[in-house]
Structure formats: C-alpha cells, structure tokens
Chain A
Amino acid sequence: MGGSKTGSDSTPGTEDGVSDDVDSGGPTAAVGQRLAALADRFDADLLTLLAVATSAVLVVAFYYPVATVLVEAVVVDGAVTLAVFAEILRDPFYVGELARLFAGESPVAVARALLSPDRRLGIVGFTAYQAALSTVASVALGLPAAYLLARFEFPGRRTLRSLTIVPFVLPSIMVAVGFVATFGDRGTLNAVLATVGLPPVDLLFTLEAVVIAHAFYNAPLVARVTTAAWESVDASAVETARSLGAGPTRAFYDVVAPQVYPAVLTGAALTFVFTFGTFPIVLALGGFELATVEVFVYRLVRDLSYAEAAALAVIELVISLAVLLAYLRYEARSSVQSRGVRPLPRRPLHPPALTAREVLPRVGLAVYAAVAALIFLAPIASMILASVTGGDGALTLEHYRFLAQRQRTGAAFQVRPWPAIRNSLVFATAATLVALPMGVVVAVLTTRKYRGRKLVDAAAMAPLAVSGIIVGLGLLRGLVFGVEVAGWRIAATGAAAIVVAHAVSGYPVVVRTVAPGLEGLDRSLVESARALGASRVRALRDVELPLVWPAVVAGAAFAFAISIGEFTATVVLATGADAYTMPVAIERFIGRRLGPATAMGVVLLVVTGVSFVVIERLGGEYRGL
C-alpha cells in the first residue's frame, strides 16, 4: 500500500507518502508534485470561479438591466409612484372592459360586458385571448402526433421524434417569412387553390395566421412532453386493468389518461406562456393592428415612452409568472417518477385486421398527417420556393442577385447581407462560448443538495420568464448608453450587449439539457471517483461531464441556434447600423420585399442547419452513451 495521494498535504497519512516520492524521484519529482498540487488547487477553485463569473454575467446582463427597467416604471420625476400602472389598468385600450372594474364599476356589469358580442378586450385581453386560442390549436395539433409517436411503430419514427425539437430552434422570423410565403395573397396556398379553381383566401394579418404559426411552434412541444409521458405508462398497469375486467377504452381512461394528461397540461401551460409573450410572429404576421403586449411594448420603446413600456412589460411579466407558478405548483403535486417500466407495445401502421377498431384510428392519423404536413412543411417549402420564384411565377435567382447587389452597392443605412450573416455567426459563437460554461455550472449547482437550492434554481432560470424586450431595453438604456460606476463611465458596444443578451437567453436551455443528465447519473459513480482520490471538480471533469457529454453538445447546439434565431432583444439592441443579424435583416426586408426576405430566410435556414450539423458531428463520437 505505498500509494500516496497528490495535492492533499493537510491530511493524515500523506506526509510520508510525499517524502517517499521526493526521496525516490529527486528534485524533478518534487517539482512535479508541486505542479500537480497547484493544478489541483486551481481545479478546486475553478468551479467557484465559474460560479462567480456566471453570477456576474447574470447580474450585468440580466438582473441589473431588468431592475433599471422596473425602476423606470415606478419612479416618475424622482418620486416612487404606481401612477403609470394605475393609468394602464384603467385604460380600456390596454385591458378592455376590465378597465371599468379597476375604475370602480361593479364586477357583474363588467362580466356582462365581457360576454356581450361587442366586447372590448384591450391589448392585454387580446394577448391572453390569442394565447388561449394558440394553446388550444397547439394541443389539438400536438396530441395526434403524440399518439402516433407513442403507440405506433413505423420506419422513421425515431427520426420524426427527434425532429419535433426542430421548430423550437427555428428562427421565428424565418418561420414568419415562411408563413407569409404560404398564406399571403400571392402565397403557395392561393396558387394551389387557384389551380383547382377555388377562390383565394387572405389569411395574412389575421388572427388565424398568428394562431397557426404559434401552433407550428408549440404543437411539437406538446407532442414531445405527451409522448414521453405516454411512453412511461407501464404496460403491466394496463394489463392489470384489462385482467380486472376493463375494456380497452375503459383501461385507457382509467390507467393511461391520468398519467398522460398532466403532461398535456404541462405542454399547454408552457404554450400559453410562450404565446402570451410572443413577439416576432405577431410583428411579422399580425402587424400593429393585431398587437400583443410584447409588440406594443416594442412600439412604446420605439416611441421613447419608456415608463409606459416598462409598466406594461411588468404587467405582462406578472401574468406570465402567475401562470408559470400555478403550473409549477400543480406539477410539484402530480409529478411521478417512473423508471424501468415496460412501455406499451407499439402497433404497426398498416392495420393487422380490417375492423373498425383497427382502421379508424389509422384513417384519422392519415388525415392528421396531411394537415400536419401543410402546417409544418408548407412554410419551409414555400419559403424556399418563393426565394427562387420571380414576380411572373418563373424560376429565377433574382432575389439572391438582389442580395448580392445590395451587398456590393448598398448604402450605409441599408441592410447588407454579409454583415448580417457574419454578425449572426460571430454573435452565436460568442454567445455559445459564454452560455455553455454558465449552463454547466448552474446545472452542477442546481443538481446538488443544499439549503437554498430552489432559490438558486429560480434565480438562474428567471431569464426564461422575462421578455426579451425588457432585457434588451434594460441593456440598451443601461450598458449601451453607459452607466457610471464609482466615477467611471462604463459603456458596452451594441455587439457586446447582444452577445450577453443571447448568452443569458440561451443558457437556461443548456441547464435544462445538462441538469437532467447529471441528476440521472448514479451517485456512486462520483463517490467512487472521490474515494479513489479525485476532488469534487476532478470527478465532475473525469466522470460526470464525459457521461453527459451528448447533453452538453446538445445544449451548445441549442444555445447556438437560439442566438442565431434570437430576434426580440436583438432588434432592440441592434439600433446601430452595424450590429444587425440575419433575423433583423429579414424583418427589415419583409415589410417591403418578400422575395429578398425569403432569400435571406433560406440563407438563415442553411446557416442554422449547417451549424447544427457541425455541432452534431463534433459531438458525434460520444453519441450512444
């Protein structure tokens, strides 16, 4: 037992070991020892260092900016007041008929007014209304997909399952372009309707277009969480119910449904929160006529009414957080850990027998597949098609030529393609490099057990709940315009602000992908490493991170994709002439020329796709662990 553990000079039983080594190895070994000890000490402090850095980034790029915005909402002319809030709450323009409630009218009268056909919802009411509609649409579109994925076996099922993550990372402004190309008055839908002799429809700038686009984004989310829950239903529970006398339908309602519906609720709650805070979709597809709160906040910011913008944003935040909290409380009560279950067997897609019970669900799925193809594939396909179609309907590359020409001859105030592409790539790379260590550190900190862990978790996850407009506005008014700290004037460039804003909005996803992996690891793996002499950080590096590597790579890919597609904070911060990204460029094109917008959209699609593939390949050798 002659071994000694390096770097542990303060513990019993090691002194003699160290001196042994010095005797046998001479001065070189002694230096080696010292270096190893130094490296170990650095190792131990690395986690603390990263945690401090992460907190600093969060404070600088999130908490401080958001706080300044909040202060702006309650401090008018140097005095603390809730007047701005009161004004908004009493203004029917914002809260519709509810304003009368805040103005002192009886709830009954208000309720009656709300039920009447000519009710006024106000901007907040409309935002909630479209979010509710979008939630219903997303659930309706997501559930059949979950049924298909959880209960049927067919070639490409796994691929389809992993594809449900794609909408999540598709830049929303690109999707908006795709929707314009599909549902616009000269879009592919009307082209198809014209060829079969049907009258054209105009869906653009309607609530329907916004709701369908929201479903495009959120139905896959509903499908993912529901599929996961459905797959974790233990087949033997269903078999037990059947053996006790329940028919297949009864067994479904009694055993399967209770386990699946909390997941549906999860998907619905998240969809509501996401669509309540929607911005690029509504901006591009609804315009200011269908303004949601977030769009109106943006408009107020553009009009320099910061106090009103901040107060409105706070009201939005309160509503989002209330829904999230209500949901989290529910989730805490109903979450069940199921492990090692035998999932329900999957059925083939072609019916084994020609009975109604076998055929009907499959017919339903076929109809669903057609609808889903229209909603999910048509926008992308239409965008690509529109980018190579001229005004006369012939194939052409004129839109791409336009981009190239604009790059060569564009004036300084005009949006040029190359800076947009370069900025997007540079910002996304930088944001990923910042977000990845932040995410890993927070994942480590939130999966350990200690007092106040929930608080750390909540503080670290807050960026998920706060609108990008607020963060962008706070960064703009604070860091970019400059702050005075102890007599020093500190100002960041718009580019740096964009990078930290992207990092802050992307890192919670890194946490969300890495933390479950860390949590799922067998505790005794780390303990074995510790007992063998590894420090806590060393065990993280040698054992935990290699084992969750696919999750780390996935987290990096998400952070990259989120940054590439981020629009909300960017559009606020990219007010200068040189910090615009591809999504901002698309938005600037979309109002005037659809052609170049679609061409730019295709470029964004290609860049997003390629970067995704590159990251996938880099992490490829660790796959399958």
Chain B
Amino acid sequence: MGSDRDAGSDAPNDDPVAVELDGVTKRYGEADAVADVTLRVREGEFFTLVGPSGCGKTTTLRLIAGFEAPTAGAIRFGGADIAGVPPEDRDVGVVFQNYALFPHMTVGENVAYGLNFADPPEGVTRDERVAELLELVDLPDVADRDPRASRGAAPSASAMARALAPGPDVLLLDEPMSALDARLRERLRVQVRAIQSELGITTVYVTHDQEEALAISDRVAVLRDGVVEQVAPPRTVYREPATRFVAEFVGDNNVFAGRVVETAGPGGDETTVPATAIVAVDGGGSARRGGAESETLRVGLGGVSGAAGGNAVAVGDRLTFCVRPQHLVVGDATTNAMRATVESAEFLGETTRVTLDWKGRDLVVRTQDPPSGEVVVGFDPTDAHVVDASR
C-alpha cells in the first residue's frame, strides 16, 4: 500500500537502482517477519529502514546481506538476482549493533581482515589501505590496539573501517549507534553521513530512532509488522505521512478521525478535491470522561491528492488527518478553537511539551511558556494533513 503512494517521490531522482527488493517475504514458522516488501535503493543513496522493534527492519537488512534467504520474492543487486549467493560473495559491508570486532585481533587486523579476500585498490598496499580507512573514520594510530580496550565512538568507527576496507558496493548498518549515549550518537551520525557522502557508497541503515532516520537519510522507509508503510525523503515523511501509523510514529502528532459534514471551495464532485472540509471529529476513546460528543473542525485538503491517492472528498467520507504540535497555537480562538484543560507539561529545554485534555482525548502542544488550567487552542486548516480518506 505504501509503494504506490510514494511513486511520486521516486520520480525526481533517476540514479540507477543499486539494491532492489521485489515482493520479498520472510516467514518464520507461522509469522511473516517481512511481508511482500518492495523497495528500490538507488546508487549512492543513504536509505534508512525505520520502525519500532519487531517491524522487520533488521530482517530486511539480513536478507540483503544474505544471512537469511527470502521465503518469497527476489533481491537484486544492480539488476541481477542474487538468490543463493552467499554473504561472502555479495560485496556488502556490514556493521552490527554490537560491532562484532574480532576480539583476538588488533584493530588493524580487524580492518585488514576483508583484504584477505579482496585486493586493495590498485597501487595501495594492505597496510596503506588499513591506515587510509582508519584515517577516514578519524581513528589514526589505533591499528595496534586491542579492540576490547577501545571505548566511546572507537569500536563503532573501527567496525565501519573494517566494513569499508574491501571496497564493498553496498554498506549495511544495523543500528550501529544504539549502544551509545545521546551526545556521542549525534556526533557520530554526522560523521557516518560525511563518510558516506565522501565515498558515495550505497548505504542501507537500520534504526528504531525516527529522529536519527530523519536526520541522516536521503530517503526513509517506515516499516510496521513487516510491511512498508511509506518510502519518501525525510521531509515528506514528516510533513506528509502516508498513513496514520507514520503520522504517529514519526515525531509528535495529533491525529483526528471523523466524518466530512460539509465541503467548501471549488470541486466537490467526483474528480476534484475541494479546498476545505468540515469534519465532525469522533469523540475521545475514554468513556470515563464521557467524551463521546463530537466537535467539528475545518481541515485544508491541499495535500489530499498526494496522500490519499487523488480521490475526491465528499460529504459523508471518513477522514483521518493530523496536526503537528507546533501548529496547535495556544490562545488562538479564530480557527478551529478547541477548549481544553492542561493535563501535564514536560520541560524539554527549547520548548515545553504540554498535554491537554480536549473532550476526553489527548492533544499535544509545543510552547515556550506553558499555560495552566483552561486554554483555547486552534490551528490553521492548511496545517492539517490528511492521511486517509475513505467512503
């Protein structure tokens, strides 16, 4: 369902496809770890698989590396099917979450290991290649060190150098920063991206951290339960999530669902999308607050053609849309005014994240000076993004 939506975002870039997954399924016993996944990673692209744990992102990476064989579907490198090709013959570089540095070798021997099976570039000796790679990852003079003694960013960088030394066609990174503290992680991801850009190497990156995925990638694939929800550049994923799941998974969001009671602007027929719709929003789920009563909100439909497949929106349709917390303005009573009560506030430094109760549902707002008690919040209809429209 995701892949046809982002056909649009695929279009502008026509670099050749380096890695292609075509209807790939991986089944363990009864359960599909990866279900009918179709992805195309372009040459030189930094492509990220992101999703909650158990979404199949690591399995997808292991399928590409050749550690697992797909139950169905094909994986192609540069257009050639690589079914049955063992990992050692795939020309991939892999960095694992725990780095998997060989503890019985020095850092230098680790980096040199892949050169047993692949020659360094012409005119470069093994030792020069090792030094060059360690230089690249900003780890000069550590070749003689015991990998077990290195701390901080060093193990991750060593593993990166080792993976790159034989000159792989594709670099596969499986949550290589998840064991690091936040500050180090941020520094390292800048470095990883810089190295990737310098080498121009096709990279598939796996992370559960959506913020990291947005920060580092050319394109992001959001996975859930083995299914691709959306493939798009980070900005698109953030601004125009294709599904409710993406809207809620990537960044903070306020998601509403309801029924269209009125449309305005041109169109309103079968083919043209009207400018705005007035939606009677479903009440909050919790009965204890008696929030079953509905409220109407005005929603801009500007993004519908992109997100909801170009269907026209008419009265009576079900609509799911989202509004980012920074677009909910406190004290703006003009449009979509919602009278809510402050429930809690988390101080985050630059802003405060305030959770409000509006008719039994939670609203999240970001603000500089946290309100208290009763507040009125509103949003511009054009800041709403429709993730789903159905009859």
In the complex, A2 Cα to B113 Cα: how many Å? 16
In the complex, A535 Cα to B117 Cα: how many Å? 9
Q: Check B70 for interface membership: any CB of A closer than 8 A.
A: no
From B66, B104, B121, give the contact of A547 (CB < 8 A).
Answer: B104
List the A residue with the shortest CB-CB distance to B124: A2
Q: Which of A239-247, A319-327, A474-482, A525-533 forms part of the interface with chain B?
A: A525-533
Instruction: State which residues 62-91 of B face A: CB under 8 Å.
Output: 65-67, 77-78, 80, 82, 85-91
Q: Check A13 for interface membership: any CB of B closer than 8 A.
A: yes
From B65, B77, B104, B168, give the contact of A527 (CB < 8 A).
Answer: B65
> Does the CB pair A532–B166 fall under 8 Å?
yes
In which size bucket is the chain A interface? 35 or more
> Does the CB pair B77–A13 fall under 8 Å?
yes
Q: Check A45 for interface membership: any CB of B closer than 8 A.
A: no
List residues of chain B with CB within 8 A of the CB of A538: 88, 117
In the complex, A395 Cα to B74 Cα: how many Å? 83
CB distance from B137 to the nearest CB of A (A): 16
In the complex, A371 Cα to B302 Cα: how many Å? 89
> Does the CB pair A8–B113 fall under 8 Å?
no
From B85, B93, B94, give the contact of A11 (CB < 8 A).
Answer: B85
List residues of chain B with CB within 8 A of the CB of A393: none
Q: Check B190 for interface membership: any CB of A closer than 8 A.
A: no
In the complex, A24 Cα to B124 Cα: how many Å? 13
CB distance from A548 to the nearest CB of B (A): 10
From B78, B100, B121, give the contact of A13 (CB < 8 A).
Answer: B78
Tally the A-B contacts, defined by beta carbons under 8 Å: 129
From A7, A14, A522, A542, give the contact of B113 (CB < 8 A).
Answer: A542
Contacts A13-B78, A527-B67 given; does A4 touch B119 at CB 8 Å: yes
List residues of chain B with CB within 8 A of the CB of A543: 102, 104
**Most chain B CB neighbours (cut-off 10 Å) among A14, A530, A543:** A530
Q: Check B283 for interface membership: any CB of A closer than 8 A.
A: no
Q: Check A6 for interface membership: any CB of B closer than 8 A.
A: yes
Q: Check A12 for interface membership: any CB of B closer than 8 A.
A: yes
List residues of chain B with CB within 8 A of the CB of A524: 96-98, 100
Bitwise, B124-167 to A at CB < 8 A (1) or not (0) is 00000000000000000000000000000000000100110111
Q: Check B120 for interface membership: any CB of A closer than 8 A.
A: yes
List residues of chain A with CB within 8 A of the CB of B77: 12-13
In the complex, A7 Cα to B119 Cα: how many Å? 12
> Does the CB pair B117–A2 fall under 8 Å?
no
Q: Check A105 for interface membership: any CB of B closer than 8 A.
A: no
Bitwise, B338-375 to A at CB < 8 A (1) or not (0) is 00000000000000000000000000000000000000
List the A residue with the shortest CB-CB distance to B93: A531
> Does the CB pair A528–B117 fall under 8 Å?
no
Q: Check A20 for interface membership: any CB of B closer than 8 A.
A: yes
List residues of chain B with CB within 8 A of the CB of A21: 119
In the complex, A6 Cα to B199 Cα: how many Å? 23
Q: Check B201 for interface membership: any CB of A closer than 8 A.
A: yes
List residues of chain B with CB within 8 A of the CB of A20: 122
> Does the CB pair B100–A525 fall under 8 Å?
yes
CB distance from B359 to the nearest CB of A (A): 43
List the A residue with the shortest CB-CB distance to B102: A543
> Does the CB pair A531–B88 fall under 8 Å?
yes
Contacts A8-B88, A8-B89, A535-B86 given; does A13 touch B117 at CB 8 Å: no
Q: Could you list 25 A-B pairs, sorted by A, with CB under 8 Å? A: A1-B121, A1-B167, A3-B114, A3-B115, A3-B167, A4-B119, A6-B117, A8-B89, A12-B80, A13-B169, A522-B100, A524-B98, A525-B100, A527-B87, A527-B96, A528-B102, A529-B113, A532-B113, A532-B163, A532-B165, A532-B166, A535-B88, A543-B102, A547-B103, A625-B103
A sample of 18 more A-B contacts (CB under 8 A), given A542-B116, A625-B103, is: A1-B169, A3-B115, A5-B89, A13-B77, A13-B91, A17-B119, A522-B98, A524-B97, A527-B67, A528-B162, A531-B92, A531-B172, A532-B114, A533-B118, A535-B88, A538-B117, A542-B113, A543-B102
